[in-house]
Amino acid sequence: MYVDRPNGDDDDDGPFGPPPQQFQQSQIPQPFFTSSFQPPQLRARICACLGNWGLLGLRRQEQFGRDFWFFPTEIRRNSVTGYIWVGGRRQRVRYRYSQIRNFVCFG
């Protein structure tokens, strides 16, 4: 994970509010927790969700857990940049596709 800016408030492309507070387990396709996608598939899934909150699943647990809300804003060849919500504030981060297991859009 790469953190661009600690506060992330300098950008206008990020979310203006927090992610959805709750979601029902039935809203998340069961394969989300067990399936892994390759970078071309991940790019397509994330690209279709630009500017919306989605659930990001990492291959390994990191600082913010393994499955968490992610707001993608920029797709690159080997990574995706966007925002997570930490402590009541948005934080800009970037993940390499090799770190990501799965992504499902809720927007």
Q: What is the pLDDT of residue 74?
A: 96
Listed residue (107, 104, 85, 106) closest to 42, CA to CA: 104
Question: pTM surpassing 0.85?
Answer: no
pLDDT tens-digit readout, 74-100: 999 999 999 999 888 999 999 999 999
Q: Is residue 35's pLDDT more than 80?
A: no
Decide if 103 contacts 33 (C-beta within 8 A): no
**Rounded (5°) CA angle 50-64-36:** 60
Q: What is the pLDDT of residue 24?
A: 60
Average pLDDT over residues 17-33: 71
DSSP-assigned letter for residue 80: E
